[in-house]
Structure 1
Amino acid sequence: MSGKHEERPEKPSEVDGTAHLFKALGKIIKVLRTNAGLSQAQLASAAHCSEDLVSAMERGVRTPQPDFLLRAEEALNAGGVLAAAVEDTEMALARARVRVRHPDWFQSFAAEEARALAAHYYEVQAVPGILQTPAYARSLFEHRRPMLDEETIEKLIADRISRQALFERWPAPTLTFVLEAAVLLRPFGGREVHREQLQRVLEVGQRRTVELQVLMLDRDDHPYLGGAFTLLTPPGRREVAYTEIYGHARLITDPEEVRQHSERYGILRSQALSKRESLTWIEKLLGER
């Protein structure tokens, strides 16, 4: 779902001071990277993460993970500066995990998504939040009405991007997406933001752990016009469904309702382009074919 008015950001509490720790650490990473003559993309490659993640950490809106600090230590020849921060970072992260970060209505979904064995996303309006770039997410939040203040926008962006840790889990969960073609045709944020977002969708869709399909606009039939939904399979539990319409979120556990959503999703997948066809279509949108 594109909306999912996400949780408070993966930012430690201002009260215990850890937010300031991570902001300072982000600034240190940026200085070390600049002094080393590396771009964000080059550091991302060396540290085995995305450029978006490096950017978010340097801005203090994402928490540097201990394994990133150790890889960055070597890549930046940091002289032990980043390695020395690993212990404090681990302690701060442990404190953050026990805090409730999500609004009450979002907590159930966020918890289930983070540990899901399988997650299936159907979207009709905008790129699903879990696939969004920071710039794309910002464009959506900045144009939301009633208007949001800048601090709230930054928090929401951080939360949204933090959910993308799901892609890095191993063993990898089963992840599939069915996106209406209109989702990828809408240039939210302008030409450059739209292009960057398409590239992000393409990059994720190319992963062997992800199945991404596009449902074209020329279909003359459709199994479900009720809006976007997500299907999740938590460990040791039955599949659940999640919907969010006009800000009203609902985590569905009733077996019959979940079965209906699962059946619809299966039909949607059968009507969509295959993964290879979908990626080729996105490449054509980008002018790469």
Structure 2
Amino acid sequence: MDKGVDEAGWDVEPGDEIEPVVQAVGRLVKVCREAAGVSVSEMAAALQYGEDMVRKIERGARIPRPEYLERADQLLKAQGHLRAFGEDMRRARYPKKVRQLAELEERSVEMLLYSNHNIHGLLQTEEYARALLGTWRPAYPPDELERMTTARMARKSVFERSPAPEFSFVLEEVTLRRPVGGTMVLRRQLEHMLDVAKLPFVELQVMPTARANHPGTGGRIQVLKFADGTGMGRTDGDFGGRPVSDPRHLRVLDLRYGIIRAQALTPEESLVFIEETLGEL
């Protein structure tokens, strides 16, 4: 993979609503370049990217990384006009469905998250996430795999909000034992979870496999609650797997999650369980 593909940015997804913004930023880059009297070839050489990459960014076919805009701003003496779009482009380069989820998570004041197959994305380390995404079929091309991994890691910034949302995670025991990426990757993943579980706004619980009868058998559950009293939820088992916001549907998910939460190990017992699982690796 050449540097231009890996570092300059990502292709715009067809039909993505972010496309007009990317095109506007590309036109601004071109205007600044021409005003500075810098040719495409000169800019490509100065920034160490291919000329084709520079042209793709300027016509809005490529989402530039914030680092690209920072360096272009300095080269073209754009007085911060290009740099100002860095955060917009940081968000734009994530896949549309990931960007939409991240926006909902950033609005949330409370998150109820039940995972039955894999450790929840907000709890994953980068190496675990990359290994897990690498198991999907059809397989992601290398650059798309890195894009998905980067996007998943970016969502974890929600932990740094002030005030942070209240998190409740319930994970099936199997998610702690499946050696995604190998034993050492799993060890570091479990150690990371122990650290996250110590945050004052995080409650992490484990559902033992021996709990035969609980309503999580229908699949994952996610409920996000917002400051205005509204919410968004989804589950694999109902509503066609689509997000729902109807209060009647949210009550169903709340009820289901509440039972799961009550049947799982307590947070204190869960930490001991994870530590014991670590000791077995």
**CA deviation profile, 1:93-122 (whole Å, cap 9, x unmatched):** 34337848442x555433211210111100
Q: Give 5+ residue unaligned stretches, structure 2.
A: 1-11, 14-20, 23-52, 72-79
Pairing partner for 2:204 from 203, 212, 216: 212
Aligned mates of 1:189, 1:204 — CA distance in 2: 20
Amino acid at match of 2:120: P
Residue correspondence of structure 1 range 213-252 to structure 2 within 5 A:
213-243=205-235, 250-252=242-244
Q: Offset at 1:224?
A: 3.2
Aligned mates of 1:107, 1:251 — CA distance in 2: 15
CA contact (8 A) 1:177 1:213 kept: yes
Q: Offset at 1:162?
A: 0.4
SS of 2:215's equivalent in the other structure is coil
SS of 1:224's equivalent in the other structure is helix
Corresponding position: 1:138 with 2:130: yes
Aligned mates of 1:97, 1:237 — CA distance in 2: 29
Corresponding position: 1:181 with 2:173: yes
Pairing partner for 1:262 from 227, 245, 254: 254
CA contact (8 A) 1:119 1:230 kept: yes
Aligned mates of 1:282, 1:204 — CA distance in 2: 12
Partner of 2:6: none
Pairing partner for 1:162 from 154, 164, 184: 154
Sequence identity (%): 33
Aligned mates of 1:180, 1:279 — CA distance in 2: 14
Partner of 1:45: none
Partner of 2:65: 19
CA RMSD in angstroms comes to: 3.0
Pairing partner for 1:91 from 57, 61, 84: 84
**CA deviation profile, 1:229-264 (whole Å, cap 9, x unmatched):** 11001231422202358xx85211121111011001
C-alpha change, 1:23 and 1:200, in structure 2 (3 Å) is farther
CA contact (8 A) 1:138 1:153 kept: yes
Partner of 1:110: 102
Partner of 2:190: 198
Work out the number of aligned pairs and report it: 215
Aligned mates of 1:227, 1:286 — CA distance in 2: 26
C-alpha change, 1:277 and 1:228, in structure 2 (3 Å) is same
Aligned mates of 1:19, 1:192 — CA distance in 2: 32
Q: Determine which structure has the larger helix proportion and give its number.
A: 2
Q: Offset at 1:214?
A: 0.4
TM-score by length of 1: 0.66
Aligned mates of 2:82, 2:277 — CA distance in 1: 41
Partner of 1:38: none
CA contact (8 A) 1:178 1:272 kept: yes
Q: Offset at 1:187?
A: 0.7
Aligned mates of 1:174, 1:118 — CA distance in 2: 5
TM-score by length of 2: 0.68
Aligned mates of 1:243, 1:23 — CA distance in 2: 39
Pairing partner for 2:141 from 143, 149, 164: 149
C-alpha change, 1:113 and 1:203, in structure 2 (3 Å) is same
**CA deviation profile, 1:167-216 (whole Å, cap 9, x unmatched):** 11111111110001111111111011111111111111111110000011
Aligned mates of 1:21, 1:251 — CA distance in 2: 34
